[in-house]
């Protein structure tokens, strides 16, 4: 009879190695690992934890898709294959966006485009409505194209009119991504009643509970003199923040960081909010 | 940038396993040679190995998952998947006298490589029927996903309408011992009752 359990020691060979999968942003240094060189030393992981499934959530226009696209571009530019499942933006618009960003980042888009395969679920109801059909299609792409990374933008789009199914659907995709050994970003949208700075998203806390970690992106409109003076930003401007809300695979920075969206539509993380306020400039260091 | 705009259906494991099974027979020199050398008992093992290889290669299933699906022991599946195809090929060609590898596993691996490379089916279903060895695949296809052990009634439901060498399965089932513990057990008992 087959053994239904494993002794801890038996898992040694199966345990994934802990290293970073770079996003090309300062986020890469916000995850860390502890190495022992006589004493424990904290070292930057250099990216999202390998084989992690990360929930990237935020209110509209907080930069989620931009960061997800930047991750895809950076990985593709490094020669790693990426499967991009677009549920919101049709593939031709995604193409334009990726091409523009790669030019801004001075990356070779011809090479990059060879390393990105797109599943366009935005214009195909079966792919959006039937998780099995989408997972079969993803399995085909992962196997045939030998991808290492997956972006789903957005996972919310797969249950937007049936949020009571969120937990079940997210669990299926989480297990699927683990089985196929992919490092993944699941973009999830927030509903108006949900706290902008929390990991809660459409479907409640289902996504955050199931996945390995959450990154919360937020924006704040400067509306008062107090905010003007605290953030040293003009009235009507926007302060953008990013925070790793949790990660069960590795240690991470828990601070709220300030970031900008550049003219080229890329994410540039500036400094922790506390330093940003203390220094009052947009060039704070990390 | 390649764009996939419509669902790609999961691979038809049954169809591919049948192709691999048929190609395995071809590698062994064809059905006639198998009959001449009285090696028909290899066929159930070949059918299982064909499924195991296809499940591993096409569905990325672990050996434990395959073992559960096919009702084999994880060790048997591991032996199939780890079989050294080249060594088995040498054995079939008579270049070596003995081989320690799982023979059916090695043959199924060779067959899988050929099927993937050339995408051809060399033995038609009706040819298999003529020679009376199509039943193993048919039985395994019906048993896919079954929760073993099965009692007589459960097995009859699964194999309703299946005829093996012109005998209705219901008749064959009368000679079988129940419960059956795995697909391999079913194949073995059927083989015994029709020989």
Q: How confident is the model at residue A23 (pLDDT cuts 50, 70, 90)?
A: very high
CATH number at residue A142: 3.40.50.300
Q: Give the integer Cα–Cα distance in Å for A171 and A61.
A: 26
CA distances, A189 to each of A153, B48, B141, B191 (Å): 9, 46, 43, 58
Cβ–Cβ gap A126/B5 under 8 Å: no
A41-73 pLDDT per residue, tens: 999 999 999 999 999 999 889 999 999 999 999
Distance from CA of A89 to the nearest CA of B (A): 13
For residue A3, being part of any structural domain is answered with no
Select from B140, B126, B129, B137 the least CA-distant residue to B166: B129
In chain B, the residue whose alpha carbon lies closest to the alpha carbon of A128 is: B7
Residue B95 at interface with chain A, using a CB cutoff of 8 Å: no
For residue A122, being part of any structural domain is answered with yes
Residue-level pLDDT at B21: 93
Nearest to B60 among A118, A119, A143 (CB): A143
| Averaged pLDDT of chain B | 82
Residue A137 at interface with chain B, using a CB cutoff of 8 Å: yes
Share of chain B above pLDDT 90, in %: 17
Q: Of how many residues is chain B composed?
A: 195
Cβ–Cβ gap B4/A119 under 8 Å: yes
For residue B7, list chain A residues with Cβ-Cβ distance below 8 A.
124, 126-127, 130, 133-134, 136-137
Cβ–Cβ gap B3/A118 under 8 Å: yes
Count how many domains chain A has: 1
Q: How confident is the model at residue A286 (pLDDT cuts 50, 70, 90)?
A: very low
Residue-level pLDDT at A257: 95
For residue A58, being part of any structural domain is answered with yes
The range of the structural domain enclosing residue A132 comes to 27-215
Cβ–Cβ gap A2/B8 under 8 Å: no
Residue-level pLDDT at B69: 86
For residue A12, being part of any structural domain is answered with no
For residue A285, being part of any structural domain is answered with no
Residue-level pLDDT at B119: 54
A267-282 pLDDT per residue, tens: 999 999 999 998 765 5
Q: For the complex shown, is ipTM > 0.85?
A: no
Q: How confident is the model at residue B76 (pLDDT cuts 50, 70, 90)?
A: very high
Residue A117 at interface with chain B, using a CB cutoff of 8 Å: yes
Q: What own/partner pairs with CB < 8 Å and gap ≥ 24 does B90-98 have?
A: B92/B27, B92/B28
Three-state DSSP state, B139: helix
Inter-chain CB pairs, A–B, below 8 Å: 58
Residue-level pLDDT at B190: 86
For residue A261, being part of any structural domain is answered with no
Distance from CA of B3 to the nearest CA of A (A): 5
Q: Of how many residues is chain A composed?
A: 286
For residue A286, being part of any structural domain is answered with no
- Considering only CA atoms, give the Rg of chain B: 17
In chain B, the residue whose alpha carbon lies closest to the alpha carbon of A123 is: B5
Q: Give the integer Cα–Cα distance in Å for A146 and A137.
A: 13
A153-208 pLDDT per residue, tens: 989 999 888 877 888 889 989 999 998 999 999 999 876 666 667 767 766 677 78
Distance from CA of A133 to the nearest CA of B (A): 6
Nearest to A137 among B4, B59, B68 (CB): B4
For residue A242, being part of any structural domain is answered with no
Q: A45-68: buried (b, 16+ CB within 10 Å) or exposed (e) per residue? A: bbbbbbbbbbbbbbbeebbbbbbb
Three-state DSSP state, A179: helix
Report the DSSP pairing between strands A48-49 and A20-21: antiparallel
Segments in A159-233 forming alpha helices (H): 166-179, 206-210, 225-231
In chain B, the residue whose alpha carbon lies closest to the alpha carbon of A76 is: B1
Q: What is the mean pLDDT of residues A17-23?
A: 92
Continuous segment of H or E residues that includes residue B135: helix B135-143
Residue A146 at interface with chain B, using a CB cutoff of 8 Å: no
Residue-level pLDDT at A284: 45
Residue B58 at interface with chain A, using a CB cutoff of 8 Å: yes
Residue-level pLDDT at A29: 95
A80-118 pLDDT per residue, tens: 999 999 999 999 999 999 999 999 999 999 999 999 999
């Amino acid at each position: 009879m087959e053994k239904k359990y494993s002794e801890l020691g038996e898992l040694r060979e199966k345990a994934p190695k802990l290293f970073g999968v770079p996003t090309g942003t300062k986020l890469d240094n916000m995850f860390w690992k502890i190495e022992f060189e006589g004493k424990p030393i904290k070292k930057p992981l250099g990216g999202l934890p390998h084989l992690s499934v990360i929930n990237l959530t935020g209110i509209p226009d907080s930069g989620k898709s931009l960061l997800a696209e930047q991750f895809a571009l950076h990985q593709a530019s490094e020669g790693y294959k990426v499967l991009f499942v677009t549920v919101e933006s049709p593939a031709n618009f995604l193409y334009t966006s990726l091409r523009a960003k790669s030019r801004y980042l001075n990356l070779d888009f011809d090479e990059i485009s060879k390393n990105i395969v797109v599943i366009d679920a935005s214009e195909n109801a079966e792919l959006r409505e039937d998780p099995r059909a989408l997972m079969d299609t993803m399995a085909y792409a992962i196997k045939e194209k030998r991808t290492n990374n997956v972006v789903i933008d957005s996972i919310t789009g797969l249950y937007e009119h049936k949020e009571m199914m969120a937990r079940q659907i997210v669990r299926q995709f989480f297990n699927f991504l683990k089985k196929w050994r992919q490092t993944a970003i699941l973009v999830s949208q927030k509903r108006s009643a949900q706290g902008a700075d929390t990991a809660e998203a459409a479907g409640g806390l289902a996504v955050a509970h199931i996945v390995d970690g959450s990154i919360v992106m937020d924006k704040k409109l400067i509306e008062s003199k107090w905010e003007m003076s605290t953030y040293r930003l003009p009235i009507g401007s926007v302060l953008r923040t990013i925070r790793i809300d949790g990660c069960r695979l590795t240690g991470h920075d828990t601070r709220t960081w300030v970031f900008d969206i550049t003219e080229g539509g890329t994410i540039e993380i500036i400094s922790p909010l506390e330093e940003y306020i203390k220094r009052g400039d947009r060039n704070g260091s990390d | 940038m390649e764009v996939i705009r419509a669902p790609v259906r999961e691979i038809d494991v049954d169809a591919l396993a049948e192709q691999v099974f048929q190609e395995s027979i071809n590698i062994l020199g064809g059905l006639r040679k198998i009959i001449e050398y009285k090696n028909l008992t290899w066929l159930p093992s070949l059918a299982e190995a064909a499924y195991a290889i296809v499940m591993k290669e096409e569905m990325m299933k672990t050996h434990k998952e395959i073992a559960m699906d096919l009702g084999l022991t994880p060790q048997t599946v591991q032996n199939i998947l780890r079989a050294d195809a080249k060594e088995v090929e040498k054995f079939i060609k008579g270049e070596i006298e003995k081989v320690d590898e799982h023979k059916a596993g090695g043959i199924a691996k060779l067959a899988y490589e050929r099927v993937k490379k050339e995408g051809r089916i060399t033995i038609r279903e009706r040819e298999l029927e003529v020679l009376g060895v199509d039943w193993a695949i048919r039985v395994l296809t019906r048993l896919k996903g079954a929760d073993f052990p099965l009692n007589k009634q459960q097995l009859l439901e699964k194999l309703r309408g299946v005829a093996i060498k012109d005998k209705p399965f219901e008749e064959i089932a009368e000679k079988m011992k129940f419960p059956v513990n795995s697909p391999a057990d079913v194949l073995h008992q059927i083989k015994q009752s029709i020989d």
